[in-house]
């Protein structure tokens, strides 16, 4: 068991922003929510799956929608609590703890807010090991765990509870409702027992994020190369360094979609990189050739600080480094590739592990 207080929260949010591959929502906003909840209700206990009983019920909590919207449309806190409690009432069984469904900036810390307010533990695992844009894109789906009952709530107090025949239909209906809620909703879903999660979840994700964040913070104090520090911490590869020349971004169907175009600097001078995203960074093309794709992780970092840059905060003139690192082995199965591979997102290329291209 580990304790999440204000100090460890900083590390977790920073590390999760790296794992979030540009998505999961602005970590700053989520961190403010979680920090205030910790101040008001006390630190959060974080348990591993092995420290809980197999029949304990766990319900993840998260934000759904276009991250760009959150720059202007803030959650009020009660919305995520409403969603969480609605699932518990529907199931009719006490919820032992909450967890992160994805290792994204905001979505890594929203469950901490819930855990603090409800005075329940957080579980040290998630359903992605990174962030993905659609509801069905979790390891729970690979192991037959239903996304529903799913509750969605907005800042006005509206709450929707749904049951669907499969997780793809959950995504279809939930995306429409999210748009009607203003392109952002707070959600609770994928209720599962600890016994199920021992097979389906990705363990240790929150601890991993905390460790990455701690390494980055230490590198800043010691004035080490921040980009190389992050690369080493995640066992990744430096793909590119450059200056953002253009960002073409649009909010479409509840997603933030688009491309960033980066002109190479230093050893990459004369080369051009195209970074495609749908809430998260999905594919890298250098001079028109695919070099990295989902499900492997793509992180965009500030060259000078190593700070992860989210899809909504990318701007012209930023000097950035692109690093890539391997996804969890569950995503590299045929079933995982079918669910989250490049062809699902419309890219005409087969998945090639990042270590085969850059190792």
Q: How many CB atoms lie within 10 A of CB 270?
A: 8
User: Is the bond leading into 149 cis (omega within 30 degrees of zero)?
Assistant: yes
CA nearest neighbour of 126 among 98, 96, 101, 97:
101
Q: What does each C-alpha distance from 31 to 36, 38, 252 come to in angstroms?
A: 8, 10, 26
Q: Residue 23 above 90 pLDDT?
A: no
pLDDT at 67: 66
Name beta bridge partners: 283.
276, 293
Lowest mean pLDDT among 68-72, 170-174, 319-323, 339-343: 68-72
Of 67-81, 149-163, 337-351, the range with the lowest mean pLDDT is 67-81
The DSSP H or E segment spanning 124 is none
pLDDT at 358 over 70: yes
CA torsion, ordered 234, 35, 312, 107, to nearest 10 deg: 60
Per-residue pLDDT at 321 exceeds 70: yes
Cα torsion 274, 233, 335, 49: sign: negative
The tokens describing 56, both together, are 């304990």
Question: Reduced to 3 states, what is the DSSP secondary structure of residue 237?
Answer: strand
Q: Can you say how many angstroms the Cα of residue 200 is from the centroid of all Cα atoms in its chain? A: 17
3-class SS of residue 306: coil
Average pLDDT of the residues in 351-359: 94
Residue range 37-57: mean pLDDT, rounded: 98
What are the tens digits of pLDDT across the range 116-146?
Answer: 999 999 999 999 999 999 999 999 999 999 9
pLDDT at 149 over 80: yes
At residue 193, the pLDDT reads: 98
Are 220 and 272 in contact by the 8 Å Cβ rule? The answer is no
Given a cut of 70, whether residue 70 has pLDDT beyond it is: no
How far is Cα 351 from Cα 180, in angstroms, rounded to an integer? 35
Residues recorded for the chain: 359
Q: Which residue has the higher pLDDT, 32 or 40?
A: 40
Q: Which pLDDT value is given to residue 65? A: 84
The pLDDT-based confidence of 8 (bands split at 50, 70, 90) is very high
Beta strand segments in 85-158, E: 122-123, 125-126, 150-153
What's the mean pLDDT in 17-41?
88
**Res 27 pLDDT > 80:** no
Instruction: Give the pLDDT mean for 332-358.
Output: 97
Q: Could you report the per-residue pLDDT of 165-204, keeping only the tens digit for each?
A: 999 999 999 999 999 999 889 999 999 999 999 999 999 9
The rounded percent of the chain whose pLDDT value lies above 70 is 98
Confidence (pLDDT) at 256 = 80
Under 8 Å between Cβ of 246 and 230: no
Whole-structure pTM value: 0.93
Cβ(79)–Cβ(119) below 8 Å: no
For the chain, the domains span 2-205, 233-358
Which CATH code is given to the segment(s) 2-205? 3.40.1610.10
Residue 71 binned pLDDT confidence (cut-offs 50, 70, 90): low
- Please write the tens of the pLDDT for every residue from 229-283: 999 999 999 999 999 999 999 878 778 889 999 999 999 999 999 999 998 999 9
68 pLDDT exceeds 70? no
CA distance 353 to 95: 38
Architecture of domain 233-358: Beta Barrel (2.40)
Residue 172 makes CB contacts below 8 A (sequence gap 6+) with none
**Which residues, in sequence order, are CB contacts of 283 under 8 Å at separation 6+?**
275, 276, 290, 292, 293, 294, 298, 342, 345, 347, 349
Judged by average pLDDT, the poorest of 23-27, 28-32, 103-107 is: 23-27
Domains 2-205 and 233-358 equal at CATH topology level = no
């Amino acid at each position: 068991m580990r304790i999440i207080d204000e100090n460890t929260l900083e590390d977790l949010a920073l590390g999760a922003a790296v794992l979030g591959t540009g998505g999961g929502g602005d970590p700053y906003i989520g961190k403010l929510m979680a920090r205030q909840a910790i101040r008001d209700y006390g630190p959060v206990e974080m348990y591993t799956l092995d420290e809980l009983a197999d029949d304990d019920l766990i319900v993840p909590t998260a934000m759904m929608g276009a991250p760009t919207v959150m720059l202007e449309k803030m959650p009020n806190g009660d919305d995520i609590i409403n969603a969480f409690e609605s699932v518990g009432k529907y199931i009719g069984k006490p919820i032992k703890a909450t967890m992160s469904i994805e290792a994204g900036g905001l979505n890594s810390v929203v469950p901490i807010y819930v855990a603090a307010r409800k005075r329940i533990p957080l579980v040290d695992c998630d359903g992605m090991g990174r962030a993905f844009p659609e509801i069905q894109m979790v390891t729970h789906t690979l192991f037959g765990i239903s996304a529903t009952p799913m509750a969605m709530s907005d800042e006005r107090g509206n709450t929707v509870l749904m049951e669907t025949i499969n997780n793809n239909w959950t995504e279809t209906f939930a995306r429409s409702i999210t748009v009607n809620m203003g392109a952002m909703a707070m959600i609770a879903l994928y209720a599962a027992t600890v016994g199920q999660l021992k097979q389906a979840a990705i363990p240790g994700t929150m601890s991993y994020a905390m460790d990455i964040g701690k390494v980055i913070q230490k590198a800043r104090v010691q004035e080490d190369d921040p980009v190389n520090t992050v690369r080493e911490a995640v066992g990744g590869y430096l793909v590119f360094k450059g200056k953002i020349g253009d960002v073409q971004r649009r909010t479409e169907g509840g997603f933030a979609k688009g491309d960033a175009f980066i002109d190479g600097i230093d050893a990459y001078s004369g080369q051009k990189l195209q970074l495609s995203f749908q809430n998260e960074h999905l594919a890298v093309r250098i001079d028109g050739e695919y070099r990295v794709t989902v499900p492997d992780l793509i992180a965009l970092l500030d060259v000078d600080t190593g700070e992860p840059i989210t899809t909504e905060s990318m701007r012209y003139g930023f000097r950035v480094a692109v690093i890539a690192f391997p996804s969890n082995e569950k995503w590299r199965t045929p079933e995982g590739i079918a669910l989250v591979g490049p062809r699902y997102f419309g890219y005409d290329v087969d998945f090639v592990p990042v270590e085969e291209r850059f190792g």
